Amino acid sequence: MANAATAPLLTRSQEAPPSKEPSIDDVIEMYIGATGVMQLLKAVFVAFAWAFDAQQVFISAFTDAEPRWHCLTAASAGNASCSPAAVSPCDIPPGSWAWDRPAVASVVSEWALNCAGPALVSLPASSFFAGCLAGGFLLTTLADSLLGRKKMLLVSLASTSIAGVLTVFAPNIWAYAALRLVSGFFRSMVGTCTLVLSTELVGKRWRDTVNVTGFFCFAVGFLSLPALAYAFRDASWRNLYVWTSVPCLCYSVLVYFLVQESPRWLLVRGRKQDAMEALRQIMSLNGSCATATSFSMLDACVVHEDNAGASGGGVFATLQAMSGRRWALRRLAAIMATSFGVGMVYLGMPLNVGSLGSNLYLSVTYNALAELPSAVLAWLLIRRANRRSSVVALTTAAGACSLACAAVPRGAAAARMAAEVLSFFAACTAFDVMLVYSTELFPTSVRNSAVGLVRQALVLGGVAAPVLAALGRERSFWSFGLFGVAIGCCGLFVACLPETRGKSMSDTMAEEEERNEGAVASCTGATAGR
C-alpha cells in the first residue's frame, strides 16, 4: 500500500530510492495543482478581502479631514474681523466664518477639533495604527495554531465590521478613537490571512496571479473611498462607516459558507480528515472525484506536524531563534528601519492630501490609481533588477518628491499634487519590493514571522504619520518635509544588506549562517579582517 501510494512521486526515477519523504507542498500540489476556473475564482473571491482592508486603512483621509472654510464678513482696517488671507480660523472671532460644508461632514468640524491641537486631531488615526501594531503581535500566532487561516480571517472581518458599525454611534472624539483602536486591532490580520489562504487554495502555478489580484483588490477598495465620500459629501461622516462596514460583514458571511480552510494548515495541525474534506471540495470544483483511498499519501504529511509547526511560534519565537546571531538581528533591524520610513510616507500621504490646496476627492483618487502601476513596476523590478539598489533608489525618489511638496509654494497646487502622487507611488513600489526582499533575507524557519515584523514596522510608521500630517496643515515642512527626510534616511539602511536576487533561499538558520560565513556584509559586523 505504501509503495503504491508513493508511486506517482517516483515516476522520474524508478531505480533510485527517494532521498526524502514527500513534503506537504509536494502532496498538496498533486491534488490541487491542476487549478480549474471555479477554483481560481474562489481564491480571487478570498483575495477581495483586500478591498475592505484598504477602506479601513485610508477612511480617515475623509472622515478626519479638516473642511475648507470661508469668511462671513469682509475685513476692515483696524478691527479683528475675518480675513480671507488667514491661514486658520482659530484666531478669527466666532461668527465671522463658517465651514464650506455641513459641520457633520467631518469629525473635525462636528466636534470643533480644528483648534484643539494636532495631538487630538490625529488621535483617531494614530489609535487605529496603534491597534494594528498590537493586533499584529498578539493575533499572529492564532492563524498558525488555534484558529487557522479561515477562522482568523472571519474573526478579523466580522470584528472590524462590528467596530465600524459601532463607530457610527460614537458621541465624542474619545469614544471614536477607542473604536478605531479596536478596529485596527482586528484589521491587522486581514491582509496576512487573505494572502496566505488565497494562495494555499491554488497550485503553485497560480499563486503569483492570486497575489497580484489581491493587490489590485486593495486598489479597488482604495478607489471606492473617494466615490463614497463624494456621494456623501454633504452628509454625515458616519455614512462612510455604514457603507464600508455593512458590506464587509455580508462578505464575511459569504466567506463562511463558500470558502474552506487551507488543506496545508489542516495537515500541519494533524487534522487529516478535515484536510481530506477540504481537498475533496477543491477537487470537486474542477469536476474530479476522490475517494478515501485517493488520499493515502496524506499519511506521509501528517507525521511532519511537529516540524512544520515549529515555525509557527510567532514573533517572540523568531527573536529567540535570532538571538546570538548578530547577522540575523542586524538584517532584521535594517529592513525594519527601512519599513518604518516607507510606512510614514505610504500611510501618511493619503492623510495629508487635504493640505495640498487641491480637490480632496481627486487627490485621494490619484493616490489610489497610483497603486495599479506601482504593482506592475514592482513586478518588473523583482524580475529584472537587484533588490537592494531598487529599494534605495525608490526610497530616495520618494524622499525627494516629498521634500518637493514642502518646497513648492502653496499656490502651485498642481505641482504639489504631482510631487505628492510621485512620492506615494515610489513608496508603494518600495514596499512591494521590500516585502519580496525580506522573504529572501531570512530562512524558512523564521521567514513568516520576520516578514510580519517588517510589516509591523510599516504600521509603526503609520502611528507617527497622522501626528505629522496634523502638524503640517499649517506648515508643510512638519509633514511632507519630515516624511521626505524619514524615508530618505531610513532607506539607506538597505545598503548594508546582502543582495539576494538569483540566490536560493535557506531553510534553517544554520544553513544561512554557513552560506554567509566569511562573506558577511558590513552590517553583520563579521567581515573578515575587522
Kindly report, residue by residue over 456-498, the tens digit of the pLDDT: 888 888 888 887 877 777 677 778 888 889 999 998 999 888 8
In a domain, 300, yes or no: no
Q: What is the enclosing helix (H) or strand (E) of 70?
A: strand 69-71
Both 255 and 330 in a single domain? no
Both 379 and 460 in a single domain? yes
Both 100 and 184 in a single domain? yes
Both 329 and 280 in a single domain? no
Both 345 and 385 in a single domain? yes
- The confidence band for 390, taking pLDDT boundaries of 50, 70 and 90, is very high
- Collect all residues with Cβ–Cβ distance below 8 Å to 466 and sequence separation of at least 6: 60, 64, 122, 124, 125, 126, 129, 348, 351
What is the span of the domain harbouring residue 253?
35-70+92-286
In a domain, 76, yes or no: no
Which of the residue ranges 90-104, 138-152, 248-262, 320-334 has the most confident prediction, judged by mean pLDDT?
248-262
Both 210 and 126 in a single domain? yes
Both 384 and 274 in a single domain? no
In a domain, 77, yes or no: no
Both 408 and 271 in a single domain? no
- Residues 62-110 pLDDT 10s: 898 888 887 876 544 444 566 655 566 777 777 778 888 888 888 988 8
**Residue that is last in its domain, among 249, 271, 286:** 286
Among 105, 136, 83, 109, CA closest to 231:
105
Instruction: Specify the number of domains making up the chain.
Output: 2
Whether the CB-CB separation of 63 and 240 falls below 8 Å is answered with yes
pLDDT-above-90 percentage for the chain: 21
The C-alpha atoms of residue 473 and residue 67 are separated, in whole angstroms, by 12
- The confidence band for 394, taking pLDDT boundaries of 50, 70 and 90, is very high
- Residue 64, pLDDT score: 87
Both 466 and 320 in a single domain? yes
> How many CB atoms sit inside 10 A of residue 80's CB?
11
- Residue 8, pLDDT score: 45
In a domain, 506, yes or no: no
CATH number of the domain to which 177 belongs:
1.20.1250.20
- The confidence band for 4, taking pLDDT boundaries of 50, 70 and 90, is very low
In a domain, 196, yes or no: yes
Both 275 and 201 in a single domain? yes
In a domain, 3, yes or no: no
- Indicate the average pLDDT of the chain: 77
Give pTM, 2 decimals. 0.75
Whether the CB-CB separation of 409 and 370 falls below 8 Å is answered with no
DSSP character for 199? H
Whether the CB-CB separation of 481 and 406 falls below 8 Å is answered with yes
- Residues 330-380 pLDDT 10s: 888 899 999 999 988 888 888 777 666 667 788 888 888 888 888 888 888
Higher pLDDT, residue 191 or 243: 243
Both 355 and 253 in a single domain? no
- Residue 253, pLDDT score: 93
- Which range is least confidently modeled, 114-123, 188-197, 375-384, 469-478? 469-478
Both 403 and 470 in a single domain? yes
In a domain, 223, yes or no: yes
In a domain, 411, yes or no: yes
- Residues 14-36 pLDDT 10s: 444 444 555 555 666 666 656 66
Asked whether residue 152 carries a pLDDT value surpassing 60, the answer given is yes
Which of the residue ranges 115-124, 162-171, 307-316, 401-410 has the most confident prediction, judged by mean pLDDT?
162-171
Average pLDDT over residues 277-299: 61
